[in-house]
Chain A
Amino acid sequence: MAAPAVAPPTARPAVGAHRRRRSLGGDRRRAAYLMLAPAVLHLAWWIGIPTVATFVLAFTRYDILAGTMSWAGLDNFVAIFRDPLWWKAIGNTVVYTFFTVPVAMAVAVVIAVLLNTKLRARAWYRTAVFMPHITATVAIALVWMWMFEPNIGLFNWVLSLFGVRGPAWTSDPAWAMTSVILMSVWKGIGLKMVIYLAALQGIPSDLYEAAEIDGAGPVRRFFAITLPLLGPATFFVLVISLIDSFQVFEQFYVLTPEGGPANATTVMTYEIYKSAFQRFDMSTASAQSMVLFAFLLVLTIVGRRFTGRDDVA
């Protein structure tokens, strides 16, 4: 674009020697906008708009085939809360969380404390514990499915060595949830352990030395020093674990397809998936998503209050 001869009114008089300084702020601002534009537009389009849209869709009747939309008010919410299966899904999600999160946390903190001593090969132990975290949930769930196989699988064979007749695991309504919980505990320990390990590095060793001089044994030291000082880390681990747990999907999808035997393992995410992508009822799915979102929001806020820190710091 050819510049007009008239200087823009905001331009300062000095050219030449002062040019660099004059334009510095503007250059940097322009550079900032250019550098931000692709990423910010992407996030706005693929996360910003969808988040708002879910909220809107939840209050409408949207027909994906006809492309029509009408206001529904609270109808979708009334409908899902009249649906016993949705209550079952909420219940199953809570049960799953209640048994997975504390167990994995307890195991993780014990391993972290054991690994925080100076040991030969401790890098190997840490790697072994962390490995499940970085591998794909779907692939790993298939391996567990194979271990859970009732007739020729590893678990029931090992149990038979002790004279125990193992259950049908994933296909038995009484055991399906337990099966998924077992796998999830195994998979979830690694990340929690790494966060605990990082927190343990911050506990000053003179506390332990003093306690040792006072004659406190390892168990006493753990409960009197380690556990209290791990308080903030524990809350942090708890919050991220709860949030992850409410969003769990893959292991349920693979280990117990179709929501499990007698809906024993239908969780909230699975119901959302079914509403949206099997029945193509986007409005119901959005209302269900909003309920899940509300749970997560409350957990996040409560967690932040207790941990006194930002989730992402």
Chain B
Amino acid sequence: MSLESAVVQPAPASGASGPGRVGGAPRPGRIVLHAVLILLSLLMVAPFVWMVLTSLKSHAEVMSYPPTILPSVWQWVNYPDALAFAPFGTYFRNSLVIAVSHTVINVVLAAMAGYALARLPFRGRSVLLMLVLATMMIPTFTKIVPQYLLAKTMPLFGGNDFLGRGGSGWLDSWWGLIVPGAVTPLAIFLFRQFYLSLPRELEEAGRLDGLGEFGIFARVMTPLMKPAIATVALITFENSWNNFVWPLIVTRSVDLRVIQVGLAAFQQTDATLWEYMMAGTVLATVPMIVLFLFTQRYFVQGFATAGIK
């Protein structure tokens, strides 16, 4: 379940396990190679390490110069203190609620749509597929202004009348945070690709057993799609958890801030409390890192299948 096994695609035609130096480089070359790679890896990981180390130092130690590498006293109390100082716990919970909602909604709705696009015949199927692909390429900033206006003018919400006038609609509400980004064209496309790969005989066997189309979808085909579901679920969760611009513009109240927005706001007001800020960034990054370490294969599969994020 490593990044390796996912990137190494079904054995290349040549049969060799890799196109590099198959026999192995001579020893000195190998040592240099490892040295270079270790140095590079350290450069990539250093900011994460520095984040964690800073989050465990006392304020005096953080502000002292020259900086120390390891905390002289490991201040685990920084975490409860940071949570008491700024509502990082609330932010964390909000992010979690939104990411889980997005994941569940996206997996269910996109799986159905992807299945229909892959396996059910209907008029206009290829046109619809092209449209879904087209929506995938619309950049965030090309649609964000009207999305905001749509959320603001949602009729009968947030004090709006039935024409959507007068109030704030879905702005600063769970609706506005969750609904607009809940379904992604990327997920539909990924599901379509995965459903296409299932054999036709299964579908027909289900039909002979008297299952309806929904039965075939839910009880025959989808149970075989666990890796695909994991891939889409993880990518959805990651994008939702890391999302910043939309939550930034639709929320105002502190209670509804997600962790990324909360951190940015904390930086603007308390920029010198680096140890608390780093405790907050640990809370914002570690869940994704842990998830990634255990499920790398699915992440990479998703990126390889989609090509783009």
**Which residues does A use to contact B, with CB under 8 Å?**
24-25, 27-33, 35-36, 38-40, 42-43, 45-51, 53-54, 57, 64, 67, 111, 113-119, 121-132, 134-140, 142-147, 149, 151-154, 157, 160, 186, 189-191, 194-195, 197-198, 200-209, 212, 218, 236, 240, 243-244, 246-247, 249-250, 253-254, 257, 268-269, 272-273, 276-277, 282, 285-286, 289-290, 292-293, 296, 300, 310-313
Contacts and interface: CB of A to CB of B under 8 A. Distances in A.
B73 interface: no
Given A119-B34, A200-B19, A244-B309, 19 more contacts: A35-B116, A40-B128, A42-B183, A46-B183, A54-B142, A114-B33, A122-B37, A126-B3, A134-B238, A136-B284, A142-B264, A143-B50, A143-B281, A146-B278, A205-B19, A206-B14, A250-B244, A276-B144, A312-B189
B67 A29 contact: no
B307 A240 contact: yes
A46 B147 contact: yes
A49 B146 contact: yes
B33 to A, nearest CB: 6
Contact of B13 (A140, A204, A272): A204
Given A32-B122, A47-B185, A202-B12, A142 B133 contact: no
A195 B306 CA distance: 11
B182 A194 contact: no
Contact of A198 (B9, B145, B245, B280): B9
A123 B4 contact: yes
A189 B280 CA distance: 25
Contact of B18 (A39, A67, A116): A116
A32 B288 contact: no
Contact of A31 (B12, B214, B242, B300): B214
B138 A47 contact: yes
Interface residues of B, number: 120
B interface secondary structure, majority: helix
24 contacts: A25-B121, A32-B116, A36-B117, A38-B109, A39-B110, A47-B138, A50-B146, A51-B143, A53-B149, A113-B20, A131-B289, A131-B292, A142-B281, A146-B54, A154-B50, A194-B304, A195-B304, A202-B9, A205-B14, A209-B22, A249-B245, A253-B264, A272-B144, A286-B145
A146 B139 contact: no
A194 B14 CA distance: 21
Given A43-B135, A123-B4, A300-B137, A277 B148 contact: yes
A4 B58 CA distance: 81
B150 interface: yes
B260 interface: yes
Given A31-B214, A152-B65, A208 B20 contact: yes
Contacts of B24: 118
B84 interface: no
A272 B26 CA distance: 55
Contacts, number: 349
A300 B241 CA distance: 27
Given A57-B146, A312-B306, A117 B33 contact: yes
B185 A191 contact: no
Nearest to B210: A20
Given A32-B120, A204-B14, A257-B268, A130 B277 contact: no
B308 to A, nearest CB: 5
A147 B50 contact: yes
Nearest to A275: B145
Nearest to B16: A205
Most buried by B among A38, A236, A292: A38
A174 to B, nearest CB: 22
A144 B183 CA distance: 32
Contact of A35 (B45, B120, B284): B120
A95 to B, nearest CB: 19
B253 interface: no
B50 A146 contact: yes
Contact of A134 (B18, B121, B289): B289
A285 B300 CA distance: 36
Contacts of A124: 41
A31, A204, A313: residue with the most chain B Cβ atoms closer than 10 Å:
A31
